[in-house]
Amino acid sequence: MSAHRAGGSRQAVSCADCRHFNGQPADIEAAFPGLASLSSAYAAVRSQDGVCAVHDRYVSASSVCARYAATGRDEFKSPPPAPGNHRKSALAPYQ
Amino acid sequence: MAEIAERAPSRFTARPSHWGELIRKEDWWAIWIGLGLVAVAITLFANGGSIRWIAVAPQKWSHLADAAAQLQAHGLQYAALFVLWAASLGIGAAALGIKLSRFLPAFLFIYLLAGAIYFLGLWDQAAHYNLEPPLVALGLGLLVSNTVGAPRWLEPGLRVEFYIKTGIVLLGAGLPLTLIAWAGPVAIVQAAIVSLVTFGVIYFTAVRLGLDRRLAATLGTGGAVCGVSGAIAIGGAVGAKKEHVSVAISLVVVWAIVMIFLLPLAARGLHLSTGVAGAWIGTSEFADAAGLAAAQTYGGYAGNVPGIGGNADAAVAAFTLMKVIGRDVWIGVWAFVLSLIATTRWERTPVQSKTDAGEIWRRFPKFVLGFLAASAVIALVSKGYDYAAYKKEVVPGLVAPLQALRTWTFTFAFLSIGLTTKIREFASVGAKPLYAFTAGVAVNVLLGFVLSTQVFGEFWNLLGQ
C-alpha cells in the first residue's frame, strides 16, 4: 500500500484530511448535474465520499494515495493540476 | 460539466463524527420530521383531538367557484400548514447548511405552486384531461427549467430527496406493519431477481463494449438498485472517475423521467390493477421520487379510468414495498461487495479504497428506519381497535391526516424534480454507456412485467383488494 505518511509522525492519513479532497454536499451537487434531481449529496448512501481534484475521481473519504497533502490554512495552495484536470471552481449554490 | 473546487481553507474542520450524521444527513432529518409529526398526531388523537385541522387538503370540485370557496373557507388552515412545513423543513434545511433566509422564500413559492397543482388534481375532470398532480408538477417543472430556466433564488428550496424521504416516513403510518411483514419477503425476492439480472446485463454489456469496470459497476447499480443514489454510492465505493459518475447519473435521470410517463401509460393500456402496476413500477423505475410520481399517478386512475382495478393506495404501497424494502436497503451490501472486488480484482488506480463491512451501515438509507418505525407505532396505537372501529376512528382521526401531509411532501418533490432537471447541463454520455444501460433497461422492464403480472401477479392483485 502506498499510503502517504504525514511528516515525521508516520501516521497513516486518508483522503478525508487531504486538501485535494472535497466532500462538501453543495459542491458535490454542483459538480454532478442531475444528482439533486433524483437524489442528493446530503443522502446517507453517499457516506463521506468526495471528489479528488488531483486524480479527478470520486472516492471514499477513507481512501489513501501517494499525493496526500495535509490541510491547513497556512499551506493552502493547490498543486499543479493533473493532466486534463482544469479544476474550475464550481459555485456552491447554497452558500 | 461543472468542475469542482478543492476545499476552501474555511472548510478545514475536524473529521465529522458518526453522531454528527444525525443532524448532517437528510435521511435523519426526514426521520425527525416524519416521526415528529406522527408523534404529535398520536398525542392529539390519544387525547380526543386530531391534526386534521392543520393537515388540510383540497377536496373534489367541479367549478372554479367551488375551489375558490374551499380556499376562502380554509385559508387560515392553509396558512398554518405553510408555517408548519416552513418551520419543520426549514430547521432541517438549516442543519444541512442551507441558509434559512434563502430556503424560506423558495419554499413559499414551492408551497403555493404545489397547492395549485394539488387543487388542480382534485378537479372532477382532471383524470379526463390526464391532469394527474405528479405528471402536471413534473411536466411544468421540466418545461420551466428547460426553457426559461428556474431562477437561482428558487434552488435552495428544490430538495427532492428531502421531501420524498419525509413523505416516505409519513407513508409508513398508512401501511400496516402486518402488510409489510406479509408482502415484504415477496418484494425482496422479486426485487433481488430483477436487481441481479439487470446489474449483470448492464455490467457485462459495458465490459464487453470495452468500458472501464468501475463505470460498468456504477452504471449497473444505477439501473439495478436505487438509481442516482445507487450510482453515486457505488461510484464512491469503487473510486470511479468523476466523469464516469456524471455519465451514470445523466443516464439514470433521463431514463427515470422517461419511465415516469411510460410505465403508467403502458400499465393503463394493459389495464393492470393498481397493486400489480405498483409492483411493476417498483421493479422497473430507477429512483424513489420518480417511481412514486409514476405510482401515485397510476393510483389516481383507480375509480377514474374504466378497467383499472384495485384501490388508489395500492399502487404506492406496492411500489414502496418493492423499491424501498426490496431494493434500496441493499445498497450498502452492493457497495461493500463491489468495493471489495474493485480493490482485489480490478485494475489498480492511484487511489486505494479501504473496504470494511461498516460500509453496509454507513450507506444504509436510514430513512427506511423511520418508515418502519412509523408503521410500527401506528400498529401499536391501533391494537385495541377492531376493523370497523379502526376505519371509523383511527383512519379519519390519525391515519388520513398523516397521509394528507405525505401527499403534500410528495407534491413538493415532484415539482422539484422537474425544476432541477436541466437536460442541457447533463454530461455527454457517449454511445457505449448508452447501449449498456439501455440493454439493462429493456431487460429490467420486461422481466419486471413478467414477475409482477405472471409470477407474483395474484399476490400483488390481493394487495389492492
Please tell me the number of Cα atoms within 13 Å of B410 on its side-chain side: 28
The alpha-carbon radius of gyration of chain B (Å, integer) is 22
A71 inside 8 A of chain B by CB: yes
Best CA proximity match to B170, nearest among B410, B413, B412, B402? B402
- Do A53 and B5 lie within an 8 Å CB cutoff? yes
Inside any domain, residue B184: yes
Residue B367 falls in which region: left (phi positive, over 0), alpha (psi -120 to 50) or beta: alpha
Three cell numbers at B324? Answer: 424501498
- B278 vs B68: CA distance, rounded Å: 34
Q: How far is CA B422 from the centre of its chain?
A: 19
**B-proximal residues of A, 31-70, CB under 8 Å:** 31-53, 55-60, 62-67
pTM of the model: 0.90
Cβ atoms of B265 and B325 closer than 8 Å: no
Contacts of A90 in chain B (CB under 8 A): 2-5
Separation CA B124–CA B133 (nearest Å):
13
- Of B376, B384, B420, the C-alpha closest to A37 is B420
Query: Any residues with CB less than 8 A from the CB of B225 and at least 6 apart, and which?
Result: B195, B199, B327, B328, B330, B331, B334
* Residue A23: pLDDT over 60: yes
The three state secondary structure string of B315-383 is HHHHHHHHHHHCCHHHHHHHHHHHHHHHHHCCCCCCCECCCCCHHHHHCCCCHHHHHHHHHHHHHHHHH
Give the B window 143-182 contacts with A, CB below 8 Å.
152, 155-156, 158-162
A6 in contact with chain B, both atoms CB, cutoff 8 A: no
* CA distances from residue B184 to B23, B106, B108, B188, B440 in whole angstroms, order as listed: 29, 38, 37, 6, 24
How many angstroms away from the CA of B248 is the closest CA of chain A? Answer: 10
Show the domain range for B434: 24-463
Best of A13, A37, A62 to mutate (most B CBs within 10 Å, chain B)? A37
For residue A51, is pLDDT > 50?
A: yes
**Amino acid, res. A4:** H
pLDDT means per 10 residues, chain B with 465 residues, are: 49 59 94 98 96 96 95 97 98 96 98 96 88 92 94 96 97 91 93 96 98 97 95 97 96 95 96 96 94 94 89 93 94 96 93 90 96 96 91 94 96 96 83 96 97 94 80
B187 in any annotated domain = yes
**3-state DSSP assignment of residue B2:** coil
Give the residue from A46, A60, A75 with the most B CB atoms within 10 Å of its CB, the best one to mutate. Answer: A60
Contact check, Cβ <8 Å, A37/B240 = no
- Sign of the four-CA dihedral B380, B386, B389, B395: positive
Contact A38 B227 (CB under 8 A): yes
Q: Which residues of B touch A2 (CB under 8 A)?
A: 352
Cα dist from B267 to B340, B414, B459, whole Å: 39, 20, 17
What's residue A12's pLDDT? 55
Residue B1 is assigned to a structural domain of this protein: no
| Residue B6 within a domain | no
Mapping DSSP to helix (H, G, I), strand (E, B) and coil, where does residue A50 land? strand
Is the torsion defined by CA of B32, B37, B41, B44 positive or negative? positive
Q: Residue A89: which of B5, B237, B252 has the nearest Cβ?
A: B5
pLDDT number for residue B353: 87
**Burial track B112-134 (b if 16+ CB lie within 10 A, e otherwise):** ebbbbbbbbbbbeebeeebbbbb
Q: Give me the residues paired with residue A12 across strands.
A: A5
Question: Is B18 inside any structural domain?
Answer: no
Residue B406 placed within a domain? yes
Q: Which grid cell sits at B188? A: 425482496
pLDDT for the residue numbered A84: 41
pLDDT of residue B418: 94
pLDDT of residue A90: 36
Closest listed residue to residue B115, CA positions, set B56, B69, B163, B169: B56
pLDDT at A36 over 60: yes
Report CB contact under 8 Å: A27, B26: no
Structure confidence at residue A1 (pLDDT): 38
A18-37 residues touching B, CB cutoff 8 A: 19-22, 24-28, 30-37
Q: Using the beta-carbon criterion (under 8 Å), do B97 and A2 form an inter-chain contact?
A: no
The C-alpha cell that represents B3 in the structure block? 468542475
Q: Give the domain ranges of chain A.
A: 5-59
Instruction: Give the relative orientation of helices B133-145 and B100-121 as an angle to the nearest 10 degrees.
Output: 130
Q: Angle at CA B376, nearest 5°, toward B375 and B381?
A: 100
Q: Got the DSSP string for B137-184?
A: HHHHHHHHHTTT---GGGGGG--HHHHHHHHHHHHHTTS-HHHHHHHH
What is residue B387's predicted lDDT score, i.e. its pLDDT? 87
Q: What distance in Å separates residue B261's CA from the closest CA in chain A?
A: 15
> To 5 degrees, how large is the angle CA B134–CA B137–CA B140?
140
- Strand pairing partners for A22? A51
Given a contact cutoff of 8 angstroms between Cβ atoms, the answer to whether B283 and B446 are in contact is: no
In a domain, B111, yes or no: yes
Residues in Cβ contact with B192 at an 8 Å cutoff, skipping those fewer than 6 apart: B326, B330
Cα–Cα distance between B273 and B290 in angstroms, integer? 20
Yes or no, beta carbons of B228 and A34 under 8 Å apart: yes
- How many CA atoms within 13 Å lie on the side-chain side of B89? 33
Provide the domain count of chain B.
1
State residue B368's pLDDT score.
97
Comparing CB atoms, the residue among B7, B253, B349 nearest residue A57 is B349
- Compare CB distances from A42 to B25, B246, B354 and report the shortest one's residue: B25
Burial A21-39 (b: 16+ CB within 10 A, else e): bbbbbbbbbbbbbbbbbbb
- Give the bridge partners for A21, in sequence order: A52
Under 8 Å CB-to-CB from A75, ≥6 apart: which residues?
A19, A69
Across the interface, which of A30, A34, A55 has its CB nearest the CB of B250?
A34
Residue B310 lies in a domain: yes
Burial zone of B261 (CB within 10 Å; 0-12 exposed, 13-18 middle, 19+ buried): middle
Question: CA B460 to CA B435: how far, in whole Å?
Answer: 32
Question: Taking CA atoms, what residue in B is nearest to A22?
Answer: B7
pLDDT tens figures, A54-92: 999 999 999 999 999 887 543 444 444 444 444 443 333
Within 8 A of A87 by CB-CB distance, chain B residues are 3-6
